Structure 1
Amino acid sequence: MSMAIRLCRTGMMTIAWIMVLPCLLILLGAIVPIVPWFRIYALGVVPNHTSWLFLWAIVALLIGLLANSLFKSRAAIAIVVTAVATIALTTWVMLHLLYIAQVNGARINVVKALELREVRDGARPDESRVYSRPGGEDLWLDIYHPAGTPANTPSPVLIAVHGGGFFQGSRSSGAANQRWFADHGWTVISIDYRLARDDRPTWNLATRDVQCALAWTAANATALHIDLDRVTLTGGSAGGSLAMAAGYLADAKRTDPECGPAIPHIAAVVAKAPLIDVIGSWYYTGELRDEQRSYLTRYIGGSPRDYPERYAAIDLRKFQFPSNPPTLILSGASDPLLSPEAGADFVRRAKAGGLEVRRILFPYSGHDFNTTYNSITNQAMRQIIAQFIVDHGAGPKLPGLTFTD
């Protein structure tokens, strides 16, 4: 065999292994929790890039088949077998994710799922304003005006609260999703709030900021052409917790009068991966326990032993009032940051009290399972959220409107 042929064979084999082995390992990492820290990475990659894992495995298979037809080697056969196994696993995972989407009313474009754009990219608000200045700190919000709404016709409003462990993140973190909802008839208002610092826990401040943004929205409803009977409050991670707290307290508490005279009634709450049981989260033995404790220390000021009254005050399970709006919770089934039992317990308590709470778990998914804009999970989430809001009378009233991507 000439040197050129050997180099060609080696090059083909190397490319195929480089493509297929990482895909297989990532899939196994998400399916079988053998290597804890690698599992965290896999649980982020799989829900966001399943289509790419499938495509790479197909390409590796084709290279392996070509190499075997040209050189007839065991190494080429091994590549083919590995690629087939990877394709089978990826197909199973993809079909499972598509099934979750389908049974919840979402239709997925798997070709679009190859797009690599993230949810924070590719969109800008129509305007930004300061809605409050607590202690001289400007708190901003971004406004995305709705498309397709007739002039002077009030639109529903979606108020979004960003995540980031209560100490980081910004109102622009979900800009592409916010533009999608605006394009489908909502006025979207994405807010910032006071972030925790080592010298300033915000356990008793951040929810007030969300309430202040709600009051500001109500005070500016006429100018914004929004319908205060169709207000949805949504958030992800830390923002999901704040959205639930502010939404559940909207009819029970009033905010700083400088923000506005009153908080509007909330028609629906949507939370992605919210922190529900803060005490349980402190003691949860997941891989990210130390990271979670650092978040809670910033946000609350210390441990449950140091501040039991603070932890008790923000436990969302205690915010289950008869007036609570319908709530949709979306989570990763294998979230390494939050205990799945806390979410299940919350839903049980809510249903026992006659409250409407719906919870959807995405398989093979961790905490950040929808960071890619057109991933299967994010396409599903947008449609599921939109339909949930519409089903509860808080969506656009536009003829012929659909939410399929």
Structure 2
Amino acid sequence: MPTFLKSNLTLVLFLLSFNFSIAQEKVVYKKVDTLSLNLEVYRPQGEPTENGFPAMVFFFGGGWTGGSTSQFEPHARYFSERGIVCFLVEYRVRSRNQSSPFESLMDAKSAMRFIRKYADEFQIDPDKIIASGGSAGGHLAAATALIDGYNDPSDDLSISSKPSALVLFNPVIDNGPGGYGFERIGDAYKDFSPLHNIQEGAPPTIIFLGTNDNLIPVETMKYYQTVMQKVGSQCELHLYEGQPHGFFNYRNFEFYESTVRKSDEFLQSLGYLEKRSTLLIK
């Protein structure tokens, strides 16, 4: 048994009904007083490469107030079949934990560090960790890459929380005046908002946004792409005409399929996935 599972962490294995060949593990990555925060892990079949499988870490949306790891279960199932170890991250939100967005970000960074620390046990390549998320979860994914502060005091800061690539679904990237969440964040936006902290070395990024998103203006996202390109980072932006916030979710299968396929192609372009056009997106 891996050493990190011999401590106070728990492991629950059970078979998923959609595909009996893929098991899910639930691992505690962090404890805050009496609260345990979990990772749900979806593993590929087969053996990893010499350096390990790529990893993909998903943060659910919900305005740092609610939400569920179930949002990205379909994505985790698909990408685990493609050969990526996928993680669904539970983090603190206001409705359940009376927390602020700052604690949500601390948890996100703790999860990234935990996954990288135990890369060998998870059989992943620590240099190929993709962060992904939707809405406020997209903010958390981007913030693990761009925000230097808001680290949990119990974290080992010698382990990087920064992902190697980002896959973002209508992400909250502007928390400044006029942006999403400013009333909760205030002047801290200067150190919390991804848009205001883009720097050289930002990881390659793909972004999906509906043109009728009532929370995230198209012009804001175009500006984000422009700044990313100015610092020399790849940033693909895919706009979906007439679509609202959350259009990419599984219940909207046409757009779920389209965004997953484009994400797959993006990861192929980075060398994280081999081309495989026959795999059904379901």
Q: Which residue of 2 aligns with 1:85?
A: none
Q: Which residue of 1 aligns with 2:244?
A: 366
CA distance in 1, matches of 2:55, 2:153: 22
- Whether the 8 Å contact between 1:371 and 1:378 is mirrored in structure 2 is yes
Give the counterpart of 1:320 among 194, 198, 203: 198
- Whether the 8 Å contact between 2:61 and 2:136 is mirrored in structure 1 is yes
Note the C-alpha offset of 1:380: 1.3
- Whether the 8 Å contact between 2:64 and 2:94 is mirrored in structure 1 is yes
CA distance in 1, matches of 2:132, 2:99: 23
Q: Which residue of 1 aligns with 2:30?
A: 132
Give the counterpart of 1:401 among 273, 276, 280: 276
Q: In the superposition, relative to structure 1, how do residues 163 and 223 fare at CA in structure 2: closer, same or farther (>3 Å)?
A: same
More strand by share: 2
- 1:141 pairs with 2:39: yes
- Whether the 8 Å contact between 2:225 and 2:237 is mirrored in structure 1 is yes
Larger radius of gyration: 1
Task: State the TM-score, normalizing by the size of structure 1.
Answer: 0.58
Note the C-alpha offset of 1:150: 5.0
Q: Which residue of 1 aligns with 2:80?
A: 182
Q: Which residue of 1 aligns with 2:264?
A: 386
CA distance in 2, matches of 1:373, 1:178: 15
Q: Which residue of 1 aligns with 2:172?
A: 275
- Whether the 8 Å contact between 2:109 and 2:144 is mirrored in structure 1 is yes
Read off the aligned partner of 2:111 and give its amino acid letter: A
- 1:348 pairs with 2:226: yes
**Aligned-CA RMSD value:** 2.8
- Whether the 8 Å contact between 2:229 and 2:235 is mirrored in structure 1 is yes
1:160-209 deviations in Å (ceiling 9; x for gaps): 11111111112222212210110110000110111024994423221111
Question: What 5-or-longer segments of structure 1 have no aligned partner?
Answer: 1-120, 283-291
Q: In the superposition, relative to structure 1, how do residues 210 and 203 fare at CA in structure 2: closer, same or farther (>3 Å)?
A: same
Note the C-alpha offset of 1:327: 1.0
- Whether the 8 Å contact between 1:146 and 1:184 is mirrored in structure 2 is yes
Q: Which residue of 1 aligns with 2:12?
A: none
- 1:216 pairs with 2:91: no
SS in 1 for 2:239: strand
CA distance in 2, matches of 1:184, 1:373: 21
Note the C-alpha offset of 1:277: 1.8
- Whether the 8 Å contact between 2:61 and 2:67 is mirrored in structure 1 is yes
CA distance in 2, matches of 1:147, 1:122: 14
CA distance in 1, matches of 2:27, 2:39: 6
Question: What 5-or-longer segments of structure 2 have no aligned partner?
Answer: 1-16
Q: Percent identity?
A: 23
Alignment of 1:41-52 (within 5 A): none
Read off the aligned partner of 2:140 and give its amino acid letter: L
